[in-house]
Structure 1
Amino acid sequence: MPHGTRRIDIELVPYRPSAERALDLEVFSMSDLRRRVPRAHLQRHHRYDFHMFVCVRRGICRAVVDFNHIECGAGSLLTIRPGQVHRFGPGSRWDAHLLLFRPELLQVSQGEERLQMPELIDALPGHLRLDRSTGRFLADTLARLEEDCALDARQPLLNWLLQSELATLVTRLHIFHAKQQPSVGTSSDAPERFRHFKRLLDAKVHQWHHVSRYAHAMGCSEKTLTRICSAVAGVGAKAFIASRLALEAKRLLVHTEMPISAVAQRLGFDEATNFTKFFRSIEGCTPGDFRRQFDVSL
């Protein structure tokens, strides 16, 4: 590793519920978590294999999620997805309800149509400021989930109950967030097609760098995909792909000891110089400079 580079250790955290019944969902407070684990552990970098919702009740929660510094005040929600790198900042003058759940719990069927719960969660921003009504609904639902986790019932039935309540919560949050977005003049299926694009991007970002590849896979023109992406995400497809590719690059640069040439190869660049040119165009610095200078402290 280059001199002066400090690799950031990331702890991979699997879902390990504290309850004996090993339910797929757990609710507790940040105060409870502080009593369970040392303070230093809370301020380490973690990558989870589960979802975590942090509903801030008091004070200001400071966190870093995938290189983004976030401040969440009381009445707001921090959402952390599986695979993201996260750490809480210092300080204990804040409290929150924490909702942890396994991705498998999102597989919900409703009548003949399948509710796309993973896509609904994926559409939520990392930081969501709630109005009073939605905040109260969230707090009430979390309290009910915590009570229901303690019910004396067979595990399959209890998991189904928790799954149903989680689906209601996620749907309500999605409806609230959708109302906050500006109206766009595009087809009604644009959000679903954009989610299809994102799924392809997650799977192929290391191989496909051009809009044409995704447009072909989706059976549409590049102009159509760009119009969909602009309407839903506020940026064109080319910029969206570049941003996602840059995020993967930053994760590898900061959280691994891979040489820059190996990072370039992992991300599908035939030459390290092409990767450096791309990275500089997005971040304004070389990959080596980013690795040396990035500050993850709060």
Structure 2
Amino acid sequence: MVDFSSLPIPVVPYTPICRPGLGIAMSTLRDLRTRAPLSLLTAPHRLEFHQIMLVTKGHGRYSVDSTCIPCSAGTLLWTRPNQVIQSFPNDMEAEILMFTESFPLPMHAGLGLLDDVLRPWHWQLGDGELPLFQQVLTHLQEEFERPDRGVGEQVLKHLLAVVLLRVDEVCRVRHDDAHVGAPSGEAGELFVRFRQELEVAYRSTRLVEDYATRLNCSTRALSRACRAIAGTSAKDVIDARVALEARRLLVHTDLPIAAIARHLGFSEVTNFGKFFGRRVNMAPGAFRRDARSRSQPESLDSGGHFTFR
């Protein structure tokens, strides 16, 4: 079995220079370029931490798990730990917020899924959204640079919560590509448990009934929770996670398509091809060729680490 987290893709650790030991850090893309080799930024790599980036000017491209988008002023990007990223910044400048998985305050069920790789990860902020987001980032930057007089970490935790709530607000108003519900109560908790169970079992089963059994609930209750929180069916959530792993393995490994199909629980490679075609609108082989031609990979040193302020 292939463990995606074990693939030979460089992992950037959380190593802040300014205020070491604190689970949050602020930087800019300009500063990052001075500390990280260009070969690292433009080749596939992963982060051990969360990174929220707000593009302030210029243009570039940013890729997460083989999906590449154009970026310009107002583009907001959220990279989660272990997602495979590449950056092609061109003349792009951005404010960057980084934080560890354990730093945020406990929040409602939806934001409890901070590490959910199926959640949306990019948005283009509108005229009414951008000033609000810039304002809270500025406040966070000022507090980060202020000498700690005993409550600094707690203030930063609460300001980060405001940032995350703003992101959640942006996410929820975009009904076409976002989790449309504001998770709470039994439905929210069930959805969180479902997503956690899915991370464990998506390679072994794609049946809604199996997950309902594991969660000790009915298929109807699970479907209601998914509709309320994700705006789609439980089956669609399952298939989206399997398709994501298929895309990752096609792009970042040289495994034969038949081996990828077996790894993801398909008994026949033809069934995998039909599944992938329905989800991605492209045959697996064509997707691999297209994604690799667009990624423009560059060679990496064995070291791929950098520090940030």
TM-score class, shorter-chain normalisation, is 0.7 to 0.9
Query: Does the alignment pair 1:174 with 2:171?
Result: no
**Percent identity of equivalent pairs:** 35
For residue 275 of structure 1, report the CA deviation from its aligned partner: 3.5
Aligned partner of 1:5 in structure 2 is: none
Distance 2:263 2:151 in 1: 44
**C-alpha distance in 1 between matches for 2:86 and 2:130:** 24
Contact 1:9-1:45 within 8 A present in 2 as well:
no
Q: Which residue of 1 aligns with 2:95?
A: 97
Q: Offset at 1:102?
A: 0.6
Corresponding position of 1:58: 57
Q: Which residue of 1 aligns with 2:4?
A: none
Q: 1:27 corresponds to which residue?
A: 26
**SS, match of residue 196 in structure 1:** helix
Matched residue, 2:307: none
Instruction: For 1:187 and 1:55, locate their aligned partners in 2 and report how far apart those are by CA, in whole Å.
Output: 28
The equivalent residue for 1:128 is: 123
Structure 1 gaps of 5+ residues are 1-7
Aligned twin of 1:258: 255
Judge conservation of contact 2:112–2:192 (CA < 8 Å) in 1. no
TM-score where L is the length of structure 1: 0.80
1:174 aligned partner, one-letter code: D
Deviation at 1:82, TM superposition (A): 0.9
Hey, what's the Cα distance between the residues in 1 that align with 2:33 and 2:73? Answer: 18
Question: Could you tell me whether the CA contact under 8 Å between 2:53 and 2:95 is conserved in 1?
Answer: yes
For residues 119 and 238 of structure 2, what CA distance do their matches in structure 1 show?
A: 19
User: Could you say which residue in structure 1 is the equivalent of 2:246?
Assistant: 249
Alpha-carbon distance in 2 for matches of 1:136, 1:187: 28
Residue 164 of structure 1: aligned partner: 158
Q: TM-score, normalised by structure 2?
A: 0.77
Query: Given the superposition, is the C-alpha separation of residues 176 and 272 from structure 1 closer, same or farther in structure 2, using an over 3 Å criterion?
Result: closer
Q: Distance in 1 between matches of 2:128 and 2:281?
A: 42
Q: Which moved more, 1:58-67 or 1:24-33?
A: 58-67
Cα drift, residue 9 of structure 1: 6.8
Separation in 2 of the partners of 1:215 and 1:188?
18
Task: Give the secondary-structure state (helix, strand or coil) at the position aligned to 1:56.
Answer: strand
Deviation at 1:139, TM superposition (A): 1.6
Superimposed CA distance per residue, residues 240-289 of structure 1 (whole angstroms, 9 cap, x where no aligned partner):
31221011112122212334444334323345554445334434555444
Task: Show structure 2 runs of 5+ residues with no match.
Answer: 1-6, 297-309
Structure 2: distance between partners of 1:135 and 1:103 = 25
* CA 1:203–1:149: 2 relative to 1, 3 Å: same
SS of the residue corresponding to residue 70 of structure 2 reads strand
CA distance in structure 1 between the aligned counterparts of 2:38 and 2:148, rounded to whole angstroms: 35
Deviations 1:226-246 (A, max 9, x none): 344345434322233122101
Q: Does 1:69 align with 2:64?
A: no
Q: RMSD of the alignment, in Å?
A: 3.2
Aligned partners of 2:207 and 2:60: how far apart in 1? 38
State the distance in 1 between where 2:230 and 2:58 align: 31
Task: Specify the alignment match of 1:88 in structure 2.
Answer: 87
**Is this contact kept in 2: 1:76–1:135, CA < 8 A?**
no
